[in-house]
Chain A
Amino acid sequence: MLVLNNIEVIYSNVILVLKGVSFEVRDGQISSLLGANGAGKTTTLKAISGLLKSELGEVSDGNIEWDGKRIDRMGPDGVVKMGIAQVMEGRRVFQHLTMEENLKVGAHLRKDSMNVKKDLDMVYDLFPKLKELHNRISGYLSGGEQQMMVLGRALMAKPKLVLLDEPSLGLAPIIVTEIFSAVKKINVEEKTSFLIVEQNARAALRVAGFGYVMDNGRIVLYGESEKLVDNEDIREFYMGLGDLGQRKSYREVKHYKRRKRWLG
Chain B
Amino acid sequence: MDTFLQLVVTGLAVGATYGLIALGFVLIYKASGVLNLAQGELMMFGAYICFVFSVQANIPFYAAVALTLPVALLIGAVIERFFLRYMIGQPLISVIMMTIGLMILMRGIATWIWGTEPKVYPQVFPQESMSIGSVNISYEYLWAAGLSIFFVLIYIIFFRFTKSGLVMRATSDDEHAALSIGISIKKVLSQSWAIAALTAAVGGIIIGALVGLDTTSFPQYGLKVLPVVLLGGLDSIPGAIIGGILIGLTENLVPEYLGFLGGGMEELAPYILVLIVLIVRPHGLFGLKRIERI
What is the interface of chain A, defined by CB distance below 8 A to chain B?
49, 51, 54, 75-77, 79-81, 85-88, 92-97, 101-102, 104-106, 108-109, 137, 139-140, 153-154, 157
Q: Measured between alpha carbons, how far is A104 from B167 in the docked complex, in Å?
A: 10
B contacts with A: majority SS: helix
CB contact under 8 A between A139 and B293, given known A94-B174, A104-B166, A105-B170? yes
B182 touches A80 (CB 8 A): yes
The answer to whether B173 touches A95, judged by C-beta atoms less than 8 angstroms apart, is yes
A154 near B170 with CB under 8 A, answer no
Q: Of residues 247 to 291 in B, which have CB atoms within 8 Å of A's CB atoms?
A: 288, 291
Q: Is the CB of A92 within 8 A of B177?
A: yes
A79 to B293, CA, bound (A): 32
Q: Which residues of A contact B291 (CB under 8 A)?
A: 95-96, 137, 139-140
B166 touches A75 (CB 8 A): no
Given contacts A51-B176, A95-B173, contact A109 B182 (CB under 8 A): yes
Residue of B nearest to A49 (CB): B180
Q: Is the beta-carbon distance between B170 and A76 smaller than 8 angstroms? A: no
A101: which B residues are within 8 A, CB to CB?
Answer: 166, 169-170
In the complex, 27 of the A-B residue pairs with CB atoms within 8 angstroms, ordered by the A residue number, are A51-B179, A54-B179, A76-B180, A77-B179, A77-B182, A80-B180, A85-B180, A85-B181, A86-B180, A88-B177, A92-B177, A94-B170, A94-B177, A95-B173, A95-B174, A96-B169, A97-B166, A101-B166, A101-B169, A105-B166, A105-B167, A108-B163, A108-B181, A108-B183, A139-B293, A140-B291, A157-B181
In this assembly, does B91 line the interface, its C-beta being within 8 Å of a C-beta of chain A?
A: no
A154 to B177, CA, bound (A): 11
Report chain B residues within 8 Å CB of A153: 181
Within 8 A of A (CB), among B13-27: none
| Residue B116 CB within 8 A of the other chain | no
Q: Please tell me if B3 contacts chain A, counting CB pairs below 8 Å.
A: no
B177 and A157 form a contact (CB under 8 A): no
Please name all residues of chain A whose beta carbon is closer than 8 Å to the beta carbon of B163 when the two chains form the complex.
108
Which residues of A lie under 8 Å from residue B181 when comparing CB positions? Answer: 80, 85, 105-106, 108, 153-154, 157
- Tell whether A96 pairs with B288 under 8 Å between CB atoms, given A104-B166, A108-B167: yes
**With a CB–CB cut-off of 8 A, which chain A residues contact B178?**
94
A85 to B177, CA, bound (A): 11
| Distance of A97 Cα from B30 Cα, bound (Å) | 13
**Is there an interface contact between B89 and A54, defined as CB atoms closer than 8 Å?**
yes
Q: Which residues of B contact A (CB under 8 A)?
A: 89, 163, 166-167, 169-170, 173-174, 176-184, 288, 291, 293
Closest 10 A-B residue pairs measured CB to CB? A80-B182, A139-B291, A92-B177, A94-B173, A94-B170, A77-B184, A77-B182, A76-B179, A105-B170, A86-B180
Determine how close the nearest CB of chain A comes to the CB of B281; give it in whole angstroms. 16
The CA of A101 and the CA of B177, in the complex, are separated in Å by 14
Given A105-B167, A108-B167, check contact A157 B182 (CB 8 Å): yes
* Cross-chain contact of A108 among B166, B174, B180, B288 (Cβ < 8 A): B166
Nearest CB of A to B201, in Å: 28
Q: B106 to nearest A CB, angstroms?
A: 29
Q: Which of A75, A95, A109, A140 has the most CB of B within 10 A?
A: A95
* Other-chain residue from A49, A79, A81, A96 in contact with B173 (beta carbon distance below 8 A): A96
Question: Which residues in B have their C-beta under 8 angstroms from that of A140?
Answer: 291, 293
Question: B residues within 8 A CB of A108?
Answer: 163, 166-167, 181-183
